[in-house]
Amino acid sequence: MSDEPTLRTAADERGFNLGAAVDPNALRNDPSYWKTLRSSFNAVTPENALKMGPLRPSPNTYDFTDADAVVNFGVANDMYVRGHTLVWHNQTPHWFQAWDYTDDQLREFLRDHIHTVAGRYRAKIDTWDVVNEAVADDGTMRETVWYDALGEEYLDLAFQWASEVAPDADLYYNDYGADAINEKSDAIYDLLERLLERGVPVDGVGLQLHALGDHPDPESVAANIERFQALGLEVEITEMDVSFPADDVPDDPLEVQADYYRSIVETCLEVGCETVVTWGVNDANSWVANFKDFPERFTTEPLLFGGRYEEKPAYHAVRDALEN
């Protein structure tokens, strides 16, 4: 047997949360999947099961089967559990038509949803992505069903409602494309500053870090993390994966990918960001292979484990970073 620690052991010993987004069907049906998850990671988040659409099959019912499967797996295996996500404009229920509601009814609907879901998991979920992707790519507030009905205040309300029922959970704002210092992260910084000035109970910001074509400069990621920390917020990397443009793949993609994972984990260790979640367990389960035209645009092996759960160079790079 090898004396080398597993990835999970290295993370545990460093006091670092290394996580994966989890598919409940794979968890139930594929022993290699849950064994890899349990032995290599010490943090989980449901990839889809806690979103409003999957949770709400009809207006007056909830189906917690899949969400419970992932959350309970995390709790049973002593893992850090992230909840993703209470308020988002995507993956709303198929029966949900915003125009069927007055603005006040929509507000009540959202309050009930947050109270029910965050309340159910109050003793199990450590950190919630309360609001996901509220800022558009150009830095303006994204015009969503929630924003159109309630204005920017929907964020204030969502964080307040979550804090009422899950007072011990850390409450996060989460977004993509804002990993380094850029126009969008500037806008998110301004938004969070406004929320804090209004006394909104926001604890942290999640940087998704879907590094598909573009790999944000680690130095700029570090500076970005530090400016959010200076606001009094925690920062986590919440949905990391690393691909290449399909028409611009380096000669040694696995090594370049490993180096990027390593540099981000090292950056986190340097600046005191204690959590990195990868958006899936292994390449065969990655969303990139199944999303819109992404398989034509990007390579589809973005994670630490290959399709057959083999440890990739990225796995070893992350473990090395955690050990040194």
> Which residues are designated catalytic?
133, 239
Rounded distance between C-alpha atoms, residue 106 and residue 92, angstroms: 13
Q: Which of 41, 172, 287, 298 binds ligand G3I (CB under 6 A)?
A: 287
Q: Cβ closer to ligand G3I: 34 or 226?
A: 34
Q: Smallest distance from the beta carbon of 91 to ligand G3I, in angstroms? A: 5
By beta carbon distance, the residue nearest ligand G3I is: 287
| Among 39, 3, 35, 2, residue whose Cα is nearest residue 18 | 39
Encoding tokens for residue 161? 């409602």
Q: What is the rounded CA–CA span in Å between residue 40 and residue 309?
A: 11
Q: Which of 91, 116, 160, 229 binds ligand G3I (CB under 6 A)?
A: 91
**Of the candidate residues 239, 266, 283, 301, the single one contacting ligand G3I (CB under 6 A):** 239
Q: Could you give the C-alpha distances from 138 to 37, 86, 96, 176, 237, in angstroms and in order?
A: 36, 23, 27, 12, 21
Per rule CB under 6 A, is residue 128 in the interface with ligand G3I? no
Are 275 and 80 contacting, i.e. CB atoms less than 8 angstroms apart?
A: yes
Q: Which DSSP symbol is given to 5?
A: P
Contact call for residues 237 and 275 (beta carbons, < 8 A)? yes
For ligand G3I, give the closer residue by CB, 95 or 255: 95
Residues that contact ligand G3I, how many (by CB under 6 A): 9
Choose between 173 and 176: whose C-beta lies nearer to ligand G3I: 176
Compare residues 89 and 115 and give the one whose CB is closer to ligand G3I: 89
The footprint of ligand G3I (CB under 6 A) covers: 47-48, 90-91, 132, 176, 208, 239, 287
